[in-house]
Structure 1
Amino acid sequence: MSIHLVGGGWPDVTDGAVYRRFFDEVEAHAVSAGVLEGARLVVVLVRDHDGPEKYAELVAYYSQFTQLDPVAVLAPENAPIDPTALAGADGIVVWGGLTPAYRVSLEPAFLEIRRLVASGVPYLGFSAGAALAAERAIVGGWRIGGVEVAPEEANEELDEVTVEQGIGLIDLAVDVHGTQWGTVTRLLAATEAGAVDGGVAIDEHTALIVGDGPLAVVGRGSVWKATPDGGSVRVSTAGSDDPGA
């Protein structure tokens, strides 16, 4: 089973490649567990005001991929999530919103998410959920030492670029909305400053899939990789390796 990291972008009918492998894994996990009436998909949203509406939209979209028994885990921003809400999951989705608020809400469940993923439950992080999958998570900010390194609109209500403990599913830092929000430069600057030891910035409508085999990229955009290189930062990109993307 794999960790699927989506860089953002509201799903639409052309995004099947981004989500198909995840739901194949969710279905396989349910079958192996003897589930006959729909895979138990836990959907986590940490949002003020519109959580129920976004949940309903997501479930309607996701249901095209496989039969589901969805479970809503909804919390207002910064409210703690009970880890027992994840029990019995065949798949976990952590959606998007304000990344620092997701981190606060999810922190009580970090250990349980790691345990479930280690046991074979596939994880899909979208936007905030992708950023927080990292051991050291970039949660926001647009300046380092007062110097602008990304558009202010990408600040997540933080001034200085902020790196905090994440869920710990992967050891690379993850930034999201790469090209669309201009956060590639935030990742590069954080790497150069030593705040993170390299990482990836994922475009919208694009997923990086981390599993037992080689890393895979699916979707419309690119994954930008930053690697420390003797005082500088080396940048490379990868696009979709799925012919159907």
Structure 2
Amino acid sequence: MEIFLVGGGREAKAAHEPFVRACGGGPIVAYALDDADLDVARWESTLKDAGATDVTVVPVSPARPPQAADLQGAAGVYVAGGLTPAYHETMVAGGTEWLDAARTAGLVYGGFSAGSAIAAEQAIVGGWRTEFQQRTVDVIDSDLAEDLETLTILPGLGLVPFLVDVHAAQWGTLYRLTHAVLATGIEGWAIDEGTVLIISSDGTPTVQGIGAATHVRRTGPASTAVTVVS
């Protein structure tokens, strides 16, 4: 299964084009959270601006989670952005039969912001502070913490084995990701807006778009190695 993880951003045409090409011109089903901020036209135009011709936006919520039947005949499945804890509740905790169907059908997966974060085996869903070396430290501005105080990592979709954080350069989430890597020992990627981290079917990562993605791995109890890929 090819995986395309976009770091967010309104100017994201270049980041979406590789996903759309991988779908081979086939239909794309886009899941978007059905809340007060739902903008169906935004997600349709985002994908069509990148070359898609057949896009169906399916609003989802805990009351109406994604269903396997939604993906009948699709070439790709796309999970949009918004409040990450709400996407996690809907797309992961709400049941993953839809994902089983996508895997079985060999669909291409595209995630945007929240849709990228929850793709991980262990998903960073929000939070702005954590415990480090027996004290509490701030890891991001509290206004960007997605309504969570403590750095929160929950089981995700399991599409990739590493942690994912998004809006890296724009929100400063690389620092939060670094603490998540130190806490869990799991490597991670922080993805800039307008940028896509592509994971091929053999697990090879590449980066395209207007920004960069930063790989972080733990090298000791309080140290990491950081590699920027653009």
| Cα separation, partners in 2 of 1:210 and 1:70, compared to 1, 3 Å | same
Structure 2 residue aligned with 1:35? none
SS in 2 for 1:209: strand
1:60/1:16 Cα in 2 relative to 1: closer, same or farther (>3 Å)?
closer
Q: 1:21 is matched by which residue type in structure 2?
A: P
Give the deviation of 1:185 after TM superposition: 0.4
Match for residue 213 of structure 2? 223
Is residue 27–residue 66 contact of structure 1 (8 Å, CA) maintained in 2?
no
Looking at structure 1, the residues matched to 215 and 225 of structure 2 have their Cα atoms a distance apart, in angstroms, of 8
Tell me what 1:2 maps to.
Answer: 2
Q: CA separation in 2, counterparts of 1:47 and 1:180? A: 26
After TM superposition, give the deviation of residue 92 of structure 1 in Å.
0.8
Deviations 1:32-61 (A, max 9, x none): xxxxxxx3211111141232xx22132134
Letter in 1 for 2:201: D
| Equivalent in the alignment of 1:162 | 152
SS of equivalent residue, structure 2 residue 123: strand
State the match for 1:106 in structure 2: 91
In structure 2, the CA distance between the partners of 1:224 and 1:45, relative to structure 1 (3 Å rule), is same
Residue 96 in structure 1 maps to residue 81 in structure 2: yes
Aligned-pair identity (%) = 36
TM-score (norm 2): 0.88
What residue in structure 1 maps to residue 115 of structure 2?
129
Corresponding residue pairs, total: 222
Is 2:20 the counterpart of 1:23? Answer: yes
Q: Following superposition of structure 1 onto structure 2, how do residues 1-245 of structure 1 map, counting pairs within 5 Å?
A: 2-11=2-11, 15-27=12-24, 39-51=26-38, 54-66=39-51, 68-76=53-61, 78-83=62-67, 84-107=69-92, 108-117=94-103, 119-145=105-131, 146-194=136-184, 197-212=186-201, 214-231=204-221, 232-239=223-230
> Counterpart amino acid of 1:69?
D
Please, what TM-score do these two structures have when normalized by structure 1?
Answer: 0.83
Q: CA RMSD in A?
A: 1.9
Aligned counterparts of 2:97 and 2:89: Cα–Cα separation in 1: 14
Question: Aligned pair in 2 of structure 1 residues 171, 64: CA closer, same or farther (>3 Å)?
Answer: same
User: CA offset at residue 88 of structure 1?
Assistant: 2.7
Q: Distance in 2 between matches of 1:65 and 1:156?
A: 28
